[in-house]
């Protein structure tokens, strides 16, 4: 059977569906990030505790990714992804009515569990169904949906919270999520290169161990952990800084900082194309370096300069994630869904650990402490990317 080719109606529909799915997933995943200061105020909790509203979701998602990737091998890609989107949207609607913070955390744990269905499978679907020469572009468009979902969700949450309440804001995200889920179901082409198979736990574990023994995959997993931990930490605590002196911004104005996410739409697609043309090893480390530069610039007090720094940081993040995630599909010679799920496992564990650790640095050292932690993470990521490049060169030289 032929692959889905660029320029066809199937290619367009697949990209629309995956864009909508990514939008839905990341609008829901990060819906509590812009309201953390409101949660701190209403429930009388510290910024570190408020950050758990995101961290418990990402850590649960990280572990359930390993399960959903395997379930899709049995039940099929489309049905599992659709179930994930619909159930997560319904849970967000219910979260708007929780009576206390501990109930909110419970619903966020459940959301993390079911949300795993799309990110665990989407990259495998793209790798199986899209023609190889268009993989970078398709992956970039999918990640663009992620970035726009993350951006729009935060802006909607911030604006509605300012006008009404954070509960009304969460309800709105749930309703939008249901609409995106319906669009996903009707637009996504059925799998042509997927063959259902029985779930074999021993084989699954062996496959994962084999992926972890691959030094290039292991380096990419570490990079996913480090860049995501850095990214979530910065966005978790920038709101606390901007509502305090000397800025004193309102929740609506703070939420518009997330408009910067639109940069991710361009950087993920553009960097995906550059990686297709010049090779991932030549582009990845440089894009992570852009993140470092952007993070350091945010130390400036001037608001415009700080926003420029956040923009550079965001550009580098989405570009590096696009390159690393598409590279996983190329390096994994078997069980691609498990290889992708492992990458996302480390990616979201990084989100949880980095996001909450940033709270400790914020409480002890302020914004400089957060950026210091982020810089250490990203320098390590650059070293891992250079290691991947050196291994790749050695393999090519030996062929």
CA-to-CA distance for 170 and 124, rounded, in angstroms? 30
- DSSP character string of 258-286: GGGGHHHHHHHHHHHHHHHHH-HHHHHHH
Residue 361 placed within a domain:
yes
Enumerate helices (H) and strands (E) in the chain, giving the number of each.
16, 0
- Average pLDDT rounded to a whole number, residues 323-340: 78
CA-to-CA distance for 143 and 73, rounded, in angstroms? 23
Residues 210-266 pLDDT 10s:
888 889 999 999 999 999 999 999 998 998 899 888 999 887 888 888 888 777 777
Residues 287-322 pLDDT 10s:
999 999 999 999 999 999 999 999 999 999 989 988
The phi, psi pair for 98, rounded to 5°, reads -65, 145
What's 299's domain CATH number? 1.20.1250.20
Between residues 230 and 15, which one has the greater pLDDT? 230
Residue 332 placed within a domain:
yes
Q: What is the pLDDT of residue 168?
A: 95
- Average pLDDT rounded to a whole number, residues 87-116: 94
Most confident of 26-35, 216-225, 385-394: 216-225
Q: What is the pLDDT of residue 196?
A: 63
Q: What is the pLDDT of residue 199?
A: 65
CA-to-CA distance for 293 and 119, rounded, in angstroms? 29
Sign of the alpha-carbon torsion through 114, 320, 323, 262: positive
Residue 75 placed within a domain:
yes
Residue 85 placed within a domain:
yes
Between residues 177 and 119, which one has the greater pLDDT? 177
Residues 38-73 pLDDT 10s:
999 999 999 889 999 999 999 999 888 878 767 766
Total tally of structural domains belonging to the chain: 1
CA-to-CA distance for 197 and 217, rounded, in angstroms? 25
Domain containing 240 equals 9-398
Residue 148 placed within a domain:
yes
Sign of the alpha-carbon torsion through 368, 369, 372, 374: negative
Model confidence at 1, pLDDT cuts 50, 70, 90, reads low
User: Among residues of the chain, what percentage have pLDDT more than 70?
Assistant: 95
Residue 1 placed within a domain:
no
**Torsion angle defined by CA atoms of residues 47, 50, 53 and 54, in that order, rounded to the nearest 10 degrees:** -10
What DSSP character marks residue 6? T
Beta bridge partners of 4: 130
Q: What is the pLDDT of residue 74?
A: 67
Residue 4 placed within a domain:
no
Per-chain mean pLDDT for the chain: 87
Residue 353 has pLDDT above 90, yes or no: yes
CA-to-CA distance for 341 and 258, rounded, in angstroms? 27
pTM for the whole structure: 0.80
Residue 3 placed within a domain:
no
- DSSP character string of 116-163: THHHHHHHHHHHHHB-GGGHHHHHHHHHHHHHHHHHHHHHHHHHHHHH
């Amino acid at each position: 059977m032929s692959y889905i080719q660029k320029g066809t109606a199937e290619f367009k529909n697949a990209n629309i569906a995956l864009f909508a799915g990514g939008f839905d997933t990341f609008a829901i995943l990060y819906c509590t990030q812009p309201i953390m200061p409101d949660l701190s105020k209403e429930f009388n909790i510290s910024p570190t505790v408020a950050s758990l509203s995101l961290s418990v979701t990402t850590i649960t998602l990280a572990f359930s990714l390993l399960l959903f990737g395997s379930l899709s091998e049995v039940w099929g890609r489309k049905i599992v992804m659709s179930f994930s989107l619909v159930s997560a949207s319904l849970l967000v609607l219910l979260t708007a009515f929780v009576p206390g913070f501990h109930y909110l955390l419970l619903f966020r744990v459940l959301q993390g569990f079911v949300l795993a269905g799309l990110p665990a499978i989407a990259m495998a679907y793209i790798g199986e169904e899209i023609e190889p020469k268009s993989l970078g572009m398709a992956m970039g468009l999918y990640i663009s949906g992620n970035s726009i979902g993350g951006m729009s969700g935060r802006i909607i949450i911030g604006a509605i919270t300012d006008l009404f309440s954070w509960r009304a804001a969460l309800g709105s995200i749930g309703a939008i999520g249901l609409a995106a889920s319906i669009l996903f179901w009707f637009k996504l082409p059925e799998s042509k290169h997927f063959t259902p198979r029985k779930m074999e736990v021993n084989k699954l574990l062996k496959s994962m161990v084999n992926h972890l023994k691959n030094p290039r995959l292991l380096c990419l997993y570490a990079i996913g952990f480090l860049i995501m931990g850095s990214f979530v930490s910065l966005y978790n605590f920038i709101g606390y800084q901007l509502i305090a002196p000397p800025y004193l911004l309102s929740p609506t104005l703070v939420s518009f900082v997330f408009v910067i996410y639109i940069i991710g739409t361009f950087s993920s697609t553009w960097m995906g194309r550059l990686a297709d043309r010049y090779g991932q090893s030549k582009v990845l480390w440089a894009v992570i370096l852009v993140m470092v530069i952007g993070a350091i610039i945010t130390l400036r007090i001037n608001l415009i300069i700080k926003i420029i720094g956040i923009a550079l940081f965001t550009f580098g993040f989405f570009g590096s994630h696009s390159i690393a995630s598409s590279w996983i599909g190329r390096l994994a010679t078997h069980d691609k869904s498990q290889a992708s799920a492992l990458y996302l496992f480390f990616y979201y564990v990084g989100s949880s650990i980095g996001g909450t650790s940033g709270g400790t640095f914020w409480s002890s050292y302020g914004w400089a402490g957060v950026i210091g932690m982020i810089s250490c993470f990203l320098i390590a990521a650059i070293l891992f990317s250079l290691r991947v490049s050196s291994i790749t060169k050695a393999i090519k030289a030996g062929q």
